[in-house]
C-alpha cells in the first residue's frame, strides 16, 4: 500500500521550533524534523510545499536511479531568472550537451595546468594581509576565488573589476539565497534587474573582446566560443561558473580556515605537512597529491559544513520512493547537511575529526558523503574546487599562523552555507615567528 509522506505533527513542530530558537539555525529545525519523522517528510512552509528525502538510498534514488524523473529547472525561481540557460538550470539534452562541452576543461589533468595561476591569484590577496591583524576570511577568500575562477577558466584578470562588481555580485548572491520569494513570487525585483544589467555589461564585453582577439589560450572561454555563436548562451555559462565556482569555494575555504584556527593541533599537523612536502617553494601538482592530511581537513570541513547543503528538484511525474507516493510537480529536496550528520554513518557527527578520512572506513559510500552531489549532475567543478582549496590553504599555511578570535560563528544559509560574521581570524606571520 502506498503511504503519504508525513507532515510534522504539532509536537514535532514544537520540538523543531525549540531547536531553532536554541541554536538560532534553520538547520537545527531540519535536524529535529529528521530525527522525529525519519528519512522522508514534508516541510510545512506556507507557499513552498516541499518533500525532504534524507540518506544514502534517497540520494541514490534522486540523483542517479530516477534522475530522469526529476527536473532541476523551476521557472520563476531567482536562480533561473539569473542564469537563464546556464548548465546548472538546464535539463535533458540541453544540459547533457553543455556538460559534454565543458567537462574536458575541468578534468584533473587540465586543472593541474591552472595551479600556477591559482598561486598567483592567492598571492595578490595575501600580500595585502598585515601581520598581527584580524582578517575577515569570507571577504578575503571571495577575492581569491573570484580571481582564480576568472583567470583559470576564462583568461580574465578580474582584479581591475573587483571594486565595481563586488557589490553587484553580493546583491546577486542575496537575490538567489533563500528569502521571501520562497513564500511569494510577488517580491520586488527591480534592484536585481539593475544588478543583472551591470554584470551583463561586463560579461558581454569580455565575450566580444575574446571573440575579436586571436585565439591563443586553451581554456573554457575558448571552448565555449568555438561551440556556439550565441553570446547569450555563452554569457549564461560564464555567469553560472562565476557564481557556482566562487561562492562555494569561498564558503569551503572560510570554514576550513575557521576549523584550523579553532583546532591548533590540526593546524600544527597541517602546517608540518605543508613544510615537509612543499617547504618554501611554490606549490605544484606534484605536491598536491602528497598533502594527504590537508586533504582530510578539507574533506571533514565539507562533511560538517557542506557549502551546498541542500539540492532541489521537481518531480516530472508521479513516482514512489520506499512505499511513499511523490505526486507529479512536487518540489523534492535532498540534504547534504542531514546526510553528513547521520550517526549511523558518521559516529560523533558534530565533532571535527579529519582523521576519519584517513582511515577510509567502508561505510563512506558515494551516497553517504555527497558534498559535490552525485550522479550525472554532480559538481562539474569538484576537482577544480579541491585542487584550488589545497593550493590556497598551502599558500596561507606556508606564511601564517591562524588564531580563532572567539567571535561566535554559526552556519548561515545564504546562497551557500557560510560562516556567519565572515569568520574573523587573527593572523600572524610565520617568518617573523621563526
Residue 221 CB contacts under 8 Å (≥ 6 apart), including other chains: 153, 154, 155, 156, 206, 210, 238
Residue positions counted in the chain = 434
In angstroms, give the least distance from the CB of 321 to ligand HEM: 17
CA distance 335 to 55: 8
Closest to 124 in 3D by CA, of 150, 145, 144, 154: 144
- Using DSSP's 3-state secondary structure scheme, residue 42 falls into strand
Q: Which three cell numbers stand for residue 395?
A: 599558500
Contacting residue, 8, 381, 411, 424, with ligand HEM by CB under 6 A: 381
3-state secondary structure of 311: strand
What binding mask, one character per residue, do residues 245-284 give for ligand HEM by CB under 6 A, x or -? x--xx--x--------------------------------
- Residue 406: phi and psi, rounded to 5, are 90, -5
> Taking contact as CB under 6 A, which single stretch among the options 74-82, 361-369, 375-383, 406-414 is the one that binds ligand HEM?
375-383
Any contact of residue 158 with ligand HEM (CB under 6 A)? no
Give 34's contacts (C-beta < 8 A, 6+ positions apart): 41, 52, 54, 335, 338
- Cβ-based nearer residue to ligand HEM, 88 or 297: 88
Which part of the chain contacts ligand HEM (CB under 6 A), choosing from 36-44, 177-185, 277-285, 366-374?
A: 366-374
Question: Do 394 and 274 touch, CB atoms closer than 8 A?
Answer: yes
DSSP β-bridge partners for residue 335: 310
Which residue from 206, 149, 211, 198 is spatially nearest to 171, judged by alpha carbons? 198
Partners of residue 321 on adjacent β-strands: 324
Give the residue with the Cβ less far from ligand HEM, 303 or 401. Answer: 303
Stretch that binds ligand HEM, among 3-11, 108-116, 242-250, 357-365 (CB under 6 A): 242-250
State which of residues 27, 52, 88, 115 lies at the interface with ligand HEM (CB under 6 A).
Answer: 88
Map residues 58-87 to x or -, x wherever contact with ligand HEM holds by CB under 6 A: -----------------------------x
The Cα–Cα gap between 239 and 310 comes to 21
Q: Which stretch binds ligand HEM (CB under 6 A): 22-30, 159-167, 264-272, 379-387?
A: 379-387
In angstroms, what is the minimal distance from the CB of 175 to ligand HEM? 18
User: Which stretch, 2-10, 186-194, 224-232, 240-248, contacts ligand HEM (CB under 6 A)?
Assistant: 240-248
List interacting residues with ligand HEM (CB under 6 A). 87-88, 99, 149, 240-241, 244-245, 248-249, 252, 307-308, 311, 371-373, 377-381, 384-385
Amino acid at each position: 500500500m502506498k503511504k503519504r509522506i508525513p507532515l510534522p505533527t504539532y509536537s514535532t513542530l514544537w520540538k523543531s521550533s525549540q531547536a531553532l530558537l536554541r541554536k538560532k539555525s534553520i538547520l537545527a529545525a531540519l535536524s529535529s524534523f529528521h530525527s522525529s519523522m525519519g528519512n522522508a517528510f514534508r516541510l510545512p512552509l506556507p507557499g513552498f510545499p516541499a518533500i525532504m528525502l534524507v540518506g544514502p538510498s534517497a540520494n541514490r534514488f534522486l540523483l542517479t536511479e530516477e534522475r530522469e524523473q526529476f527536473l532541476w529547472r523551476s521557472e520563476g525561481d531567482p536562480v533561473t531568472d539569473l542564469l537563464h540557460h546556464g548548465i546548472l538550470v538546464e535539463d535533458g539534452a540541453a544540459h547533457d550537451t553543455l556538460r559534454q562541452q565543458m567537462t574536458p576543461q575541468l578534468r584533473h589533468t587540465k586543472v593541474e595546468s591552472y595551479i600556477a595561476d591559482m598561486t598567483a591569484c592567492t598571492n595578490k590577496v595575501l600580500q595585502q594581509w598585515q601581520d598581527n591583524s584580524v582578517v575577515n576570511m569570507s571577504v578575503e577568500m571571495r577575492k581569491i576565488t573570484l580571481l582564480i575562477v576568472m583567470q583559470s577558466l576564462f583568461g580574465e584578470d578580474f582584479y581591475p573589476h573587483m571594486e565595481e562588481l563586488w557589490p553587484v555580485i553580493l546583491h546577486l548572491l542575496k537575490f538567489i539565497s533563500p528569502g521571501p520569494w520562497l513564500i511569494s513570487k510577488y517580491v520586488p525585483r527591480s534592484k536585481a534587474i539593475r544588478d543583472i544589467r551591470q554584470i551583463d555589461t561586463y560579461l558581454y564585453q569580455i565575450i566580444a573582446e575574446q571573440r575579436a582577439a586571436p585565439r591563443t589560450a586553451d581554456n573554457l572561454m575558448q571552448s565555449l566560443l568555438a561551440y556556439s555563436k550565441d553570446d547569450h548562451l555563452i554569457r549564461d555559462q560564464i555567469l553560472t561558473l562565476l557564481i557556482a565556482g566562487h561562492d562555494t569555494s569561498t564558503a569551503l575555504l572560510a570554514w576550513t580556515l575557521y576549523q584550523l584556527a579553532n583546532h591548533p593541533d590540526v593546524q600544527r599537523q597541517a602546517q608540518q605537512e605543508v613544510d615537509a612536502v612543499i617547504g618554501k617553494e611554490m606549490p605544484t601538482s606534484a605536491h598536491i597529491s602528497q598533502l594527504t592530511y590537508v586533504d582530510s581537513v578539507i574533506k571533514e570541513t565539507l562533511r560538517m559544513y557542506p557549502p551546498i547543503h541542500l539540492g532541489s528538484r521537481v518531480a516530472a511525474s508521479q513516482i514512489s520512493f520506499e512505499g511513499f507516493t511523490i505526486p507529479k510537480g512536487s518540489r523534492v529536496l535532498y540534504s547534504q547537511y542531514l546526510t553528513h550528520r547521520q550517526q549511523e554513518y558518521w559516529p560523533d557527527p558534530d565533532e571535527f575529526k579529519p582523521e576519519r578520512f584517513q582511515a577510509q572506513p567502508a561505510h563512506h559510500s558515494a551516497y553517504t558523503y555527497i558534498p559535490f552531489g552525485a550522479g550525472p549532475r554532480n559538481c562539474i567543478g569538484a576537482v577544480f574546487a579541491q585542487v584550488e582549496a589545497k593550493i590556497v590553504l598551502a599558500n596561507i599555511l606556508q606564511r601564517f599562523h591562524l588564531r580563532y578570535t572567539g567571535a561566535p560563528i554559526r552556519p548561515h544559509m545564504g546562497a551557500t552555507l557560510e560562516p556567519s560574521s565572515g569568520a574573523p581570524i587573527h593572523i600572524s606571520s610565520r617568518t617573523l615567528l621563526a
